[in-house]
Amino acid sequence: MNSPSSKGISEEAEDDEISLKELVLKIREWYRYLLSKWLTIVLAGMVGGGLGLAYAWWKKPVYTAECTFVLEEDKGGGGLGQYAGLASMVGIDIGGGGGGMFQGDNIIELYKSRLMLQKTLLSEAIFAGKKQLLIDRYITFNQIKDKWKNIRSEDLNFNQAKLSIRQDSIIGEIVKAVNKNNLKVTKPDKKLSIISVKFESEDELFAKAFTDKIVQNVNQFYIETKTKKSLQNVAILQRQTDSVKRVLYSSIGGSAVAIDANPNPNRALQILQVPSRTKQIEATVAGKAYEELVKNLELSKISLRKEAPLIQVIDEPILPLKKEELKKWEGTVIGVLMGVFLSTLCLLSVLVIGKMDKG
């Protein structure tokens, strides 16, 4: 006598066998149905191939300009710390503390900022021997004047000192488009300090010019910002040093004049020695102050050199640029496959829906 559990297992096995048979029968049915519709599928494949060929013919190649550079910064104070402490005792800040608004990957975000992109777009480059604003060339090959409505000719004149509100709006839209479609700034290896700047465009010359200009603008801005505080300290110390130096030279000259006025002073009259001694004391004090200021000035210059990041270009874009294009045979094959797939899917859908309606 069979147990209930053994009956359940046999029923499940039988159901699985029936389901498998049904699936095989369904596949055979679909195959025969599709085979009867071979002409429709072939025509769909031919149409898809034609569309793929037309797209490959119409689609312009995309050029990629890439610039890679290494960014190295001194993050530690090193031996400069002891000098910084010494300088702070006399009220001088020679920097070297690191930090600031630009650390780590922040330079990547700087490349995507409107400030840098706008500055680059409004920069000039030479195309076919003629100077042209990058934004003018961008507008031309993207046919923005034809695509965008309500744009006047004066709105596209960016070669002026002050931009209008409409021009600011146009630049804002172009910046968004460049960030979304063209510009890619990455660190290929997170462990290394190598940064890659890629720009993709259908205009080969524009891609190279834009990449060169934005790398130049961003790296220059980055260095100036990183060293701004140290530069201010150097400038202040330089002015103080020059001022004390003038006082020192004036005191030395005044002492000599006072001595020359009384070359053989009467020792009984001490009043005659006051002018020369006063100038000598001023010269001594000024000399010591000048000596300390010179030391602090040199320390500030050392700090400035240490804070300045090293940016060394490894590879820069060189014509001809890397070109990506859809070959005509590739477009045709992809179109044929898409046509066959979509037509097959539609025919099977019609078959299934028809059976459901009958059921």
String of DSSP letters for 41-70: HHHHHHHHHHHHHHHHHHSPPEEEEEEEEE
Both 295 and 178 in one domain: the answer is no
Please report which confidence band the pLDDT of residue 25 belongs to, taking 50, 70 and 90 as the band edges: confident
Both 222 and 88 in one domain: the answer is yes
What sign does the dihedral 290-294-295-299 (CA atoms) show?
positive
Do 312 and 67 meet the contact criterion of CB atoms below 8 Å apart? no
In a domain, 2, yes or no: no
Using a pLDDT cut of 70, give the percent of the chain over it.
Answer: 77
The pLDDT tens digits of the residues spanning 218-235 come to 988 888 887 777 777 878
The token duo for 194 is: 């190598």
In a domain, 358, yes or no: no
Both 107 and 122 in one domain: the answer is yes
Q: Tokens 């910002």 map to which residue?
A: 225
Give the integer Cα–Cα distance in Å for 161 and 320: 35
The CA-CA-CA angle for residues 176, 177, 180, to 5°, reads 85
The CA-CA-CA angle for residues 332, 338, 343, to 5°, reads 125
Q: pTM value?
A: 0.64
Reference 106, options 218, 210, 232, 192; nearest CA is: 218
The token duo for 206 is: 């524009």
Do 65 and 199 meet the contact criterion of CB atoms below 8 Å apart? yes
Both 204 and 289 in one domain: the answer is no
Both 89 and 138 in one domain: the answer is yes
Both 207 and 85 in one domain: the answer is yes
Predicted pLDDT at 298? 82
Both 135 and 201 in one domain: the answer is yes
Instruction: Identify the top-confidence range among 38-42, 169-173, 221-225, 249-253.
Output: 169-173
DSSP secondary structure code for residue 153 in this structure: G
Both 55 and 66 in one domain: the answer is no
Using a pLDDT cut of 90, give the percent of the chain over it.
Answer: 19
Please report which confidence band the pLDDT of residue 354 belongs to, taking 50, 70 and 90 as the band edges: confident
Give the integer Cα–Cα distance in Å for 188 and 194: 7
Question: Average pLDDT of 123-136?
Answer: 90
In a domain, 116, yes or no: yes
Both 69 and 200 in one domain: the answer is yes
Predicted pLDDT at 116? 94
Predicted pLDDT at 10? 53
Higher pLDDT, residue 221 or 287:
221
In a domain, 43, yes or no: yes
The pLDDT tens digits of the residues spanning 50-93 come to 888 887 777 788 999 999 988 776 655 444 444 444 444 444 45
Predicted pLDDT at 292? 84
Mean pLDDT of the chain: 77
Give the integer Cα–Cα distance in Å for 199 and 31: 48
Instruction: Identify the top-confidence range among 184-193, 208-217, 336-345.
Output: 208-217
Question: Average pLDDT of 175-190?
Answer: 90
**pLDDT of residue 199 exceeding 90:** yes
Both 236 and 303 in one domain: the answer is yes
Both 258 and 172 in one domain: the answer is no
Predicted pLDDT at 77? 46
In a domain, 195, yes or no: yes
Predicted pLDDT at 150? 74
Q: What is the separation, in whole angstroms, between the first and last Cα of the chain? A: 41
Question: 118 lies in which domain range?
Answer: 62-227+310-324
In a domain, 359, yes or no: no
Residue 184 belongs to domain with CATH number: 3.30.1890
Higher pLDDT, residue 228 or 213:
213
Both 252 and 163 in one domain: the answer is no
Higher pLDDT, residue 78 or 335:
335
Question: Could you give the count of Cα atoms lying within 13 Å of 108 in the half-sphere of its Cβ?
Answer: 16
Predicted pLDDT at 274? 55
**pLDDT of residue 319 exceeding 90:** no
In a domain, 214, yes or no: yes
Please report which confidence band the pLDDT of residue 34 belongs to, taking 50, 70 and 90 as the band edges: confident
Total number of domains in the chain? 3
**pLDDT of residue 210 exceeding 80:** yes
In a domain, 81, yes or no: yes
Alpha helices in the chain (DSSP H): 4-36, 38-58, 80-88, 106-111, 114-121, 134-141, 144-147, 165-177, 204-226, 228-261, 274-307, 328-358
